[in-house]
Structure 1
């Protein structure tokens, strides 16, 4: 009986040491990614209202967070300036708002104004957006209004390598 107990004890010790604790592993299902759209022109189907649907391929996880930035210009050094959405402008022609929502399938960017789009093509035509897909565990303490802070946080997360930047087709 003692020999059987000793044999079971030895097998148990080896069996338990072969198990691994993967609590510290990196989640390989979710990875940070940014997409830069081609220029988008908002069409005014209803006065002052338009939306653009941008599909997410592949779909994201329900726990992921999506952040959207609009290319608002270029600084003195020639670097792009990205402003966070939602954002609003009080222009001489009236008020203009960019907003967005997202699901696991797509991102929808909305443009609302109280004036005709034709009065401000600098805000309605050839707009470029950058969409950042952020894993939920990275986004929980993230200040998303600063594009550079978001990109640094994604890089520091070291989730599945470097950030991948693609143009959505």
Structure 2
């Protein structure tokens, strides 16, 4: 009988400490991990309404935040430069805007311009984007305009951030 009581006591201790849920109803989700997807060869053309649809599989949680960055070039050391979306360019042809929206199952990236965007193929063809999924509790105090800060914050939460290529 003592052995059964001891066994039940040990199982109870582990069972009751498996989650963090305080008396105030605050719950910390420790199993949602940030993810980063890279989408290359994105072409914004008239037949696609100058937009790119990226499905999210599996769907994200409603509390997650989606950030999108565009590869805008490289620095003098050859490192990639990622600029946050939305962003606007004032070009000789007119104004060009990248924007996005998201739901739990997809991200849509838009290219809008006051001129035909195909005139600037350096902005409309073969673009590369990174879609960063951030748990809401991480994103609360995050400077999302700085790609390096975002990646450092995600690395601190997960240990290492894998970048998955999508086509």
Q: Which moved more, 1:66-75 or 1:32-41?
A: 32-41
Structure 2 residue 38 is matched with structure 1 residue 40: no
Q: Paired residue for 2:91?
A: 91
1:51 Cα shift?
1.0
Q: Paired residue for 1:112?
A: 112
Which consecutive aligned stretches of 4+ in structure 1 deviate over 3 angstroms post-superposition? 14-18
Q: Are the counterparts in 2 of residues 32 and 164 from structure 1 also a CA contact under 8 Å?
A: no
What does 1:151-162 align with in structure 2 at a 5 Å threshold? 151-158=151-158, 161-162=159-160
Q: Paired residue for 1:4?
A: none
- SS of 2:43's equivalent? coil
User: Normalised by the size of structure 2, how large is the TM-score?
Assistant: 0.84
In structure 1, the gaps of 5 or more residues are 1-9
1:45 Cα shift?
3.8
What does 1:2-21 align with in structure 2 at a 5 Å threshold? 14=9, 17=13, 19-20=16-17
In structure 2, the gaps of 5 or more residues are 22-27
1:118 Cα shift?
2.6
Q: Paired residue for 1:27?
A: 30
TM-align CA RMSD: 2.4
1:72 Cα shift?
0.2
Q: Greater CA radius of gyration, 1 or 2? A: 1
1:91-147 residue CA offsets vs partner (Å, 9 max, x unmatched) = 110000000000110100000001112321111011100000101110111110000
Q: Are the counterparts in 2 of residues 35 and 167 from structure 1 also a CA contact under 8 Å?
A: yes
- SS of 2:60's equivalent? coil
What does 1:122-141 align with in structure 2 at a 5 Å threshold? 122-141=122-141
- SS of 1:58's equivalent? coil
- SS of 2:41's equivalent? coil
